[in-house]
Amino acid sequence: MNPIDGFTNTFGSPPTIAASAPGRVNLIGEHTDYNGGAVLPAALQRRIQVALARQDAPTITIKSTRFDDLIERPLGDAKRDDWTDYAMGALWKASELGWLTGGVKLHIESDIPDGAGVSSSAALITAILRAASIVGQVATTAVDIAKHARAVENDYIGMPCGIMDQMAVGLADHGEALALDTSDLSYDVIDIPEDWGIAVIHSGVRRELADGRYKARFEECQAAAEHLKTDQLCRLGQAQMKALSEMPDPLRKRARHVMTEHKRAVQASDAMKTGDLNTFAALMNESHRSYSQDFEASTPVIDDLVNDALNIGAKGARLTGGGFGGCIVALVEKPKLENWVEELLDRHENAWRV
């Protein structure tokens, strides 16, 4: 159903506005986005669509097609650790900006799985902020919306993420990758070559970003950056490289991951621009090794899935997203893609294609 009809069915009158945003998969560049490095996410076909209207009552009333209940939360309600926090946080930000104040009725339709590492939360926040900016008739940009959406995660949800997800869902469309330099937010939208088959496979192991392990890695990177007296751990100079080699583990390994991963993300963007599938795939494989061994963010189930993905013919495969479960992303020659997916899913009964 489209969100306008969905809203009308739920609330008995039409919405003022509808907006949407896609999910994303990160092709390469993991945990570089809060260390001043490069990332290369791509937009998914799956999207979140929202429709909303003001209401007089000082209440946010939320309906999602993924759940039966209509949820009511008072305006200004603090975080309570369920999925409606993302909507509350986005509306809190919209109100703070003066884009949309007071009570709101909100209808949500989504085919982006949550807890999968494909940015359902960034998509929801972005879609709501887009809708609010239209209601408020404000002149804003996709980059500003991405910054506001990140602030919702950082300040309302308490998740210390970088800006990759918000920029990806705000600036890329399906079939495109976003080569983003998070040190200055310069970017390039690249068409994914048509003969590249990209598949996102969920391991069956759910992940929660807010569960503390992401934050633990964030804090280790901060500690390494402080030790090396930099705020861009991805870009170390000669003297810092020497200090890095003397830093104790695990900080040394964490820093090594983000530094090498930044370089790989830059090289991968170039390889995508020239259609060099083999180089891109090799960078993905090296990225997984680094993410698993240096950043220690993989799990046995994920490593097994990545190994099998390669054994049955993927050119490249890696854990994608914040780590500790969720999805792998694989690069397969397009003509082989469907058979490859079928074979991988036959071998892993808990896995499914996103």
Residues assigned a catalytic role: 165
Asked if residue 164 binds ligand GLA (CB under 6 A), the reply is yes
Applying CB under 6 A, among 22, 23, 37, 322 the residue interacting with ligand GLA is 322
User: CA angle, 134 as apex, 128 and 138 as ends, to 5°?
Assistant: 115
Range in contact with ligand GLA (rule: CB under 6 A) among 133-141, 161-169, 184-192, 302-310: 161-169
Does residue 31 interact with ligand GLA by CB under 6 A?
yes
Q: Does 85 help bind ligand GLA (rule: CB under 6 A)?
A: no
Q: Which two tokens stand for residue 290?
A: 């680094």
State the Cα–Cα distance between residues 209 and 323, nearest whole angstrom: 8
C-beta closer to ligand GLA: residue 30 or 344: 30
Closest approach, Cβ 335 to ligand GLA, in A, equals 30
Nearest distance, CB of residue 65 and ligand GLA, angstroms? 24
Interface residues for ligand GLA in 9-28 (CB under 6 A)? 26
Closer to ligand GLA by Cβ: residue 247 or 258: 258
Compute the CA torsion angle 134, 135, 136, 139 (nearest 10 deg): 10
Which DSSP string corresponds to 183-214? TTTEEEEEEPPTTEEEEEEE-S----GGGSHH
- Residue whose entry in the numeric block shows the structure tokens 């996103």: 354
Smallest distance, ligand GLA to C-beta of residue 125, A: 11
Task: Count Cα atoms within 13 angstroms, Cβ side, for 294.
Answer: 20
The closest of 57, 50, 56, 94 to 74, measured between CA atoms, is 57
Q: How many residues does the chain have?
A: 354
Residues 207-246 that bind ligand GLA (CB under 6 A): 209
> Cβ atoms within 10 A of the Cβ of 278, count?
11
Q: Is 352 helix (H, G, I), strand (E, B) or coil?
A: strand
Q: In the complex, what is the shortest distance from the CB of residue 182 to ligand GLA, in angstroms, rounded to a whole number? A: 9
- C-alpha–C-alpha distance, residues 242 and 47, integer Å: 45
Closer CB to ligand GLA, 165 or 286, in the complex: 165
User: Residue 165 interacts with ligand GLA (CB under 6 A)?
Assistant: yes
Please, what is the minimum distance in Å from the beta carbon of residue 263 to ligand GLA? 15
Taking CB under 6 A as the criterion, the residue among 37, 162, 325, 326 binding ligand GLA is 162
Q: Among residues 128 and 164, whose Cβ is nearest to ligand GLA?
A: 164
Minimum CB distance to ligand GLA smaller for 3 or for 22: 22
Binding residues for ligand GLA, total number by CB under 6 A: 12
Q: Which of 7, 11, 33, 277 binds ligand GLA (CB under 6 A)?
A: 33
Kind and range of the H or E element at 5? helix 3-11
H-helix or E-strand spanning residue 303: helix 300-311
d(CA 105, CA 32): 37
**Which residues of this protein are in contact with ligand GLA, per CB under 6 A?**
26, 30-31, 33-34, 161-162, 164-165, 209, 321-322
